């Protein structure tokens, strides 16, 4: 703003001198006018840059607010379901318990999965800038090749459910991890149920 005022003052000063051309020749007047134009141009560029920075900060704040709102909504929606919701690095991570998703060696969704997947589809639909990464996991029952295929099938079935609810397929990515990343002991039925899971990461 100071630079703009300075440019205006320069132009005003030149105008005052226009009636006394004998004191300031034409080349000098042109040179001074060019200086004033440069000052004003730079000042406008500075203001534009500041406005862009403010806009960027505002967008970041709105994005963070949306993440927090979605996090709180999901935590409330998943009370009592066993789903664990965490917010890490600006993303929502959801771990769906095995006993609520699939039976051992199967890729058929359990009947109560609707209460878990519906809030996820609602979040993806309401926040159009979001994307989902779905990872399927298995327990150690069966061969490594079988479990790899099974984990892909499980992730795909969850993806299909979300798509049928209205989420665009282009916003969903699926990965099968097989039995290679257990979170509990595969030697117990409880441990197997925990390893037989779906993890969903929602990014903004």
pLDDT tens per residue across span 45-79: 777 777 676 666 666 666 667 667 766 776 776 77
Provide the pLDDT confidence category of residue 163 given band limits of 50, 70 and 90: very high
The predicted model gives 128-135 an average pLDDT of: 90
| Distance, CA of 176 to CA of 144 (rounded, Å) | 12
pLDDT, tens digit, for every residue of 86-118? Answer: 888 878 889 887 767 777 677 778 777 777 888
Q: Tell me, what's the pLDDT at 23?
A: 57
CB 157 within 8 A of CB 117: no
Instruction: Map out the domains of the chain with their CATH numbers.
Output: 2-58 (no CATH), 78-203 (3.30.1330.60)
Q: Tell me, what's the pLDDT at 15?
A: 52
Q: Using the CB atoms, write b or e for 21-36: b if 16+ within 10 Å.
A: eeeeeeeeeeebeeeb
Q: Tell me, what's the pLDDT at 1?
A: 52
């Amino acid at each position: 703003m100071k630079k703009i005022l300075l440019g205006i003052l320069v132009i005003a000063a030149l105008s005052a001198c226009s009636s006394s051309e004998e004191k300031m020749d034409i080349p000098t007047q042109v040179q001074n006018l060019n200086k004033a134009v440069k000052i004003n141009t730079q000042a406008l560029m500075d203001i534009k840059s500041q406005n862009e920075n403010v806009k960027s900060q505002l967008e970041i704040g709105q994005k963070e607010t949306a993440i927090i709102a979605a996090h709180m909504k999901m935590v409330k929606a998943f009370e009592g379901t066993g789903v664990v919701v965490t917010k890490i690095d600006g993303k929502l991570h959801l771990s769906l318990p095995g006993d609520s998703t699939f039976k051992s060696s199967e890729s058929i969704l359990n009947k109560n999965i609707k209460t878990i997947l519906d809030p996820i589809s609602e979040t993806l639909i309401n926040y159009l800038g979001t994307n989902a990464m779905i990872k399927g996991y298995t327990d150690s029952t069966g061969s490594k090749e079988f479990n790899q295929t099974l984990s892909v099938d499980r992730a795909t079935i969850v993806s299909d459910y979300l798509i049928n609810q209205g989420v665009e397929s282009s916003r969903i990515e699926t990965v099968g991890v097989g039995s290679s990343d257990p979170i509990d002991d595969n030697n117990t039925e409880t441990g197997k149920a925990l390893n037989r899971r779906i993890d969903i990461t929602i990014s903004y």
